[in-house]
Amino acid sequence: MPQSAPTAVAELLTMLDLEKIEENIFRGRSPQIGWQRVFGGLVVAQALVAASRTVSGRTPHSLHGYFLLAGDPQAPIVYEVDRLRDGKSFTTRRCNAIQHGRAIFSLSASFQTEEEGFEHAVAMPNAPMPETLPSEAELIEKFGSVMPEPIKRWFASDRAIEARPVDPSRYVRHEPGAPVQDVWLRAAGPLPDDPAIHRAVLAYLSDMTLLDTALIGHGYYVFDPRLQVASLDHALWFHRPFRADEWLLYAQDSPNSSGARGLTRGLFFSREGRLVASVMQEGLIRRRRSDG
């Protein structure tokens, strides 16, 4: 874990603590680390925080969002929440993220009072525990000489999220494989006990590695300069309580790629094997014109 990981976690928590500027209107910002566009997971997480700030006594169980424009990291993001419905059991909110007078992301989220009901869940894949897998520093030491430079920079960067892929050789292979991958993820430092923070952090990290899964089937990776890759929509369902500063297995697959789009899905499991959340996303996967 990088020495500055606690600082990165603190920065993430600051970015998730939105400023209230008016009733139903909040302001967020992006990290100033040289990105050309705002990380999609951050916009999802901040929109969820904004919507949640307008709901009392109910927790989110699902969210659906569309990425409309690339976000500008140099400008603040204004989140406007529309209180669509407050029912007996469910509450619905819509939240638009706005920059330079235009919506860059639109979220719908549903909240529910806690209820007892039927229980079942799929089993966690048979994956090795994260402690048995190489750390990011060990990955660079072992594969750095043959790892594509953009991936190497990503693993070496100071991030608020720690990742341990089950099959790290995926980052040095260049031939097509099955579009499936498992990655252990967690916040790179302790988080406060507030469950809302853990939900927001999971929303943030749920955009990591997901679209990359569709590219495994074609021998590419998400940072490949020959490709134009961008998230188009994102859906997330919360099933059971969890902590985002404890290891979560992100079991991902891609059932389809067509029409310059890839569909990906993922399941989050606690290390005890409990299914805690599900994700689906479709993204743009387009060869750049200069790539023939």
Residues labelled as active-site residues: 207, 231, 281
Residue 291 φ then ψ, to 5°? -90, 15
Give the CB-side neighbour count of residue 291, counting CA atoms within 13 A: 8
Per residue in 188-211, is it b (16+ CB within 10 Å) or e — as a string?
Answer: bbebeeeeebbbbbbbbbbbbbbb
Question: Helix/strand/coil (H, E, C) string of 13-71?
Answer: HHHHCCEEEECCEEEECCCCCCCCCCCHHHHHHHHHHHHHCCCCCCEEEEEEEEECCCC
Give the CB-side neighbour count of residue 253, counting CA atoms within 13 A: 5
> Whole-angstrom Cα distance, residue 136 to residue 44?
25
> Whole-angstrom Cα distance, residue 70 to residue 4?
28
> Whole-angstrom Cα distance, residue 247 to residue 79?
30
87 CB-contact burial (10 Å; exposed 0-12 / middle 13-18 / buried 19+): exposed
Residue where the block lists tokens 């970015």 = 15
Q: Could you tell me the CA-to-CA distances from 284 to 22, 109, 177 in Å, in that order?
A: 35, 23, 20
> Whole-angstrom Cα distance, residue 103 to residue 125?
38
